[in-house]
Structure 1
Amino acid sequence: MATLPLTFEYHIMIHELYLVAGIFTVLVTACDFFYTTVSFNGAGVLAKSISNGIASLFLWTNKKTSSRYLLKFSGVTHILAQVALWISLLWFGLFLIMMSDPYSVLLAPGGEPASAINKLYFSGYVLSTLGNGQYIPNDGGWQIMVAAFSFAGFIFITTAMTYLMNLTSAVIHKRKLSLFISNLGETPEEILANSYTGNGFDRLTSVAPNLQQMINEHSQNHYAHPGVHYFYSIPRSESLSLNLTNLDEALSLAQTHIKMDTPFDQDLRPLRDTIDKFLNTVQHHFIKKAEAEADAGPGIQYLQKTGIPLVKQPREQPGGHERRVLLGGLLQSSGWNWNNIYNPDGN
C-alpha cells in the first residue's frame, strides 16, 4: 500500500518538472528572439553562440580550401539556423508545458487524453494556427494557453519576416558602401594616388561626408541586424572588411608618410573618427584581434611615382599597432588577411 503514494508523488514531481522546464524554455527563447530582432543591441546569447559556431566552420573551410566559394552561403545559413533554433525551442517548450498535464490535450471524437506524440504534433500546429479539430485543448486554462501560444506564434512569424526584410536592406547597404570605397581604389596606395590632384586629395575629401554617413549607418546595422556581418562577399569590390581596411590604411599612410603642409589630415579627421567608432562596435561582438603579417606593408615606391609629397622619415602614429591588430581581426572575420591588402595580385 505504501508504494501507491510514492508512485503518485513521483508522477506529480515529473509533471512539475515538465512545467518548469517548459516555461523556462519558452521564456529563454522569447528573450533571445526579441533581444536579437527588436532590441537594436546585438544578438542574444543563443543566436550569438550559434552564429559564432557557424562562422568558425565557414572560415575554417575557407582557410583549408583557399576558396571563397562556400562563404557566399554563410549569411543564409546563419539566418536559417537561428530561425530553426528559435522555432524548435518554442515548439519544444510548449510541448513540455502540455506534458505537465496528462489531460491537457484531448482527442476530439471521444475526449481521450492525447499521447506524447499527439501533443508534440499539436504543439507545432498551435504555433501557426489554432489546429484542425482532430485534437483539442482541455477546458479552462489550457484553452486560454493554446490561444495565447497561437497568437504568440503569429507575432513570432511576422516579427521574423520584418527582421529578415530589414536585414536584406542592411546587407544591400553594406555592399553599396563597399563598392563606394572600392571605386576610390583597390589598395591603400591607389586610393591616395587616385585622390591626389597636385594640391591635395580633393576626390577623397569631397566624398568624405558621404562615407561618414554610410559607415555610421552600417555601424548601427551591426546592432540592429547582427546577421549582416556574416553575409560574406566573394568579389573584392563587394567585401566591406577588405575595402574599409584599404581606406583606413590610406588614412594611416597620409598621417605617417605625407607632408603635413597638405590639408589631408585635418579634412579627413572626422572620417577617421567614424572608422574608429565602427571598429569599437565590431571588436566587442564579431572579431578577434590578429597581428599583421610581417611582410604586409605599403608600397611607398608606388606613391613616389605619383608625385605625392612624402616625408623622408615616416612619422609615428599613436595607437597605430593596436589599430592594425583590430583591422587584422576584421579581415580574418571575413576570410581575408593582410596580404590581400598589400599584395592583392599574389592571392
Structure 2
Amino acid sequence: MPILFFLGIVIVVLAIIDIIWTILWVEGGAGFITKALSSSLWRVMSTFAHGNRKALRLAGPTMLTLTLLNWIFLLWLGWALVFSGSTNAITDTVNQTPIVWQNIVYYTGYTIFTLGLGDYSPASPFWQIMTAIASGTGMLFFTLGASYIISVVGAVLNKRSFSSSVIEIGTSSEEIVKDAWNGNDLSNMNLLLMDMSDQLSVLSMKQKAYPLLNYFHTTNKKEAIAIALPIIDDALSIIVYGMEAGTQPNPILIKKFRNCISNHLETLEATYIKSADEPLALPKLDQLKKDGLPVVKTDVFESQMAGLTERRKKLFGLLKEDNWQEKDLDL
C-alpha cells in the first residue's frame, strides 16, 4: 500500500535527521526527537527518584541506552513500513510461501543489522535498491552510534575530571584563596586559572554538543560539577572583590575564567537549569582575615557582591537541579 511506503520513508528520514542532528551538529544540541525523549524520561525518573542521587546515577546511562534503542526502533519501523508498501516487495526464496508481516519485520531487521540476505530477497530491481539503502542506514547508525557513545562517555569523564581538579585544590573557596596566598599576593593562581579555564571552555563546548551530559549524575561530591563550580566561582569572587588591590593574580586570566563560568552557566540554562529564587549565601572573609590575608571590610565585600545576584541564582539553580543542597558545599 503506497500510504505505508510513504509513511515509512517519512519515519526513516526523521530518524536519520535526528541521528545526524544529535551526533554531528555541534551547535545544534540534541535532535528534536532525542530532545523530547530525554526531557520526558528525565521528568519521569526525577519524579520517581525523589532526589535519591543513587537512583539518579542511573539516569545518564539509561537515557543514552534508550536514545540508541529509539533510533534502532525508528529505523526498523520505518523500513518495515516501506517494505510493507507492496505485496511483491520481497519473496521467500526457500519455501515460496506468501509473505506476512512477521517476514517483513524479520527481513528488515537482518537487512539493517547484518547487511546480508537470507531466506528472503527483494523481488525487483527497485526493491533491491531500497534494500541497499536500508543496509546503508544501518551502517550509518552503527558508525555514528559508536562514535556518539565514545564522545558522551569521554565528555562525562572530562566533567568529573574538572570537578575533581577543583576540589583537590581546596574543599572551599576560602581554602583555595588561603592556599594560593604566598605572603605577598595571589600570583600562585595564574597557572591554575589558565589551565582550568581551558578545561571549562572545552567542557562547555561538549555540553552544548551533547546535552545528554546533563543527566549523568554522581553520588560523589568531589566529582560533581554542581558543587565544584560554585566553589571555584566563590574563590574568584573573593579574589576580585574581597582582597585588597594589588594582591590579585593576572586580571586577564581572572576575566577569562569568570567568562568561561558565565558561558557554561548560559549553556546549562538553555538546556537544563533554571535560576533559583534565591542566590547562594555569600562566602565569609572572617577566617581569611584571621589567617593574615589582606581582605576588605565585610560591608564593602557584600556591596560589591550585590551585582552578582543573578549569577549566584544560576549557580544555586545548578546545585538544586543536580539534587544537591547548599549545605553540600561544605565538604
In structure 2, the CA distance between the partners of 1:289 and 1:20, relative to structure 1 (3 Å rule), is farther
- Is the contact between residue 26 and residue 90 of structure 1 (CA under 8 Å) also seen in structure 2? yes
- Is the contact between residue 45 and residue 59 of structure 2 (CA under 8 Å) also seen in structure 1? yes
TM-superposed CA distance for 1:269, in Å, is: 1.7
Matching residue of 2:309 = 321
In structure 2, the CA distance between the partners of 1:56 and 1:197, relative to structure 1 (3 Å rule), is farther
TM-superposed CA distance for 1:318, in Å, is: 6.6
TM-superposed CA distance for 1:257, in Å, is: 2.7
The 3-state SS of whatever aligns with 2:158 is helix
TM-superposed CA distance for 1:155, in Å, is: 1.9
- Is the contact between residue 111 and residue 117 of structure 2 (CA under 8 Å) also seen in structure 1? no
Distance in 1 between residues matched to 2:243 and 2:47, nearest whole Å: 39
Distance in 2 between residues matched to 1:49 and 1:329, nearest whole Å: 22
Distance in 2 between residues matched to 1:122 and 1:270, nearest whole Å: 56
Sequence identity percentage:
27
Matching residue of 1:11 = none
Distance in 2 between residues matched to 1:67 and 1:18, nearest whole Å: 45
Distance in 1 between residues matched to 2:282 and 2:43, nearest whole Å: 27
- Is the contact between residue 293 and residue 338 of structure 1 (CA under 8 Å) also seen in structure 2? no
- Is the contact between residue 122 and residue 131 of structure 2 (CA under 8 Å) also seen in structure 1? yes
TM-superposed CA distance for 1:218, in Å, is: 0.5
Q: Which amino acid aligns with 1:127?
A: I
Which of 9, 13, 24 does residue 27 from structure 1 map onto? Answer: 13
TM-superposed CA distance for 1:221, in Å, is: 1.0
Distance in 2 between residues matched to 1:73 and 1:110, nearest whole Å: 47
In structure 2, the CA distance between the partners of 1:181 and 1:58, relative to structure 1 (3 Å rule), is farther
- Is the contact between residue 242 and residue 331 of structure 1 (CA under 8 Å) also seen in structure 2? yes
Which of 131, 152, 174 does residue 159 from structure 2 map onto? Answer: 174
Q: Could you report, residue by residue, the CA deviation over 1:205-244 in whole angstroms, capped at 9, with x for unpaired residues?
A: 2311101111111111113333233221211111122101
Matching residue of 1:213 = 198
Which deviates the most, 143-152 or 284-293? 284-293
Distance in 2 between residues matched to 1:98 and 1:248, nearest whole Å: 57
- Is the contact between residue 293 and residue 339 of structure 1 (CA under 8 Å) also seen in structure 2? no
- The answer to whether residue 294 in structure 2 is matched with residue 306 in structure 1 is no
Matches within 5 A, 1:200-279: 200-264=185-249, 266=251, 267-279=253-265
TM-superposed CA distance for 1:319, in Å, is: 4.3
Distance in 1 between residues matched to 2:279 and 2:328, nearest whole Å: 11
Which of 20, 23, 29 does residue 37 from structure 1 map onto? Answer: 23
Matches within 5 A, 1:75-86: 75-86=60-71
Matching residue of 1:50 = 37
TM, length-normalised to structure 2: 0.90
Matching residue of 2:266 = 280
The 3-state SS of whatever aligns with 1:106 is strand
Distance in 2 between residues matched to 1:59 and 1:189, nearest whole Å: 33
Matching residue of 1:17 = 3
Matching residue of 1:191 = 176
Distance in 2 between residues matched to 1:171 and 1:206, nearest whole Å: 24
The 3-state SS of whatever aligns with 1:278 is helix
Q: Could you report, residue by residue, the CA deviation over 1:177-220 in whole angstroms, capped at 9, with x for unpaired residues?
A: 11111111112222222222222223322311101111111111
Query: Which runs of 5 or more residues in structure 1 are unaligned?
Result: 1-14
Distance in 1 between residues matched to 2:24 and 2:319, nearest whole Å: 28
TM, length-normalised to structure 1: 0.87
Q: Which amino acid aligns with 1:164?
A: I
Which deviates the most, 188-197 or 19-28? 188-197
Distance in 1 between residues matched to 2:46 and 2:289, nearest whole Å: 37
TM-superposed CA distance for 1:148, in Å, is: 1.3
In structure 2, the CA distance between the partners of 1:298 and 1:263, relative to structure 1 (3 Å rule), is closer
Q: Which amino acid aligns with 2:34?
A: A
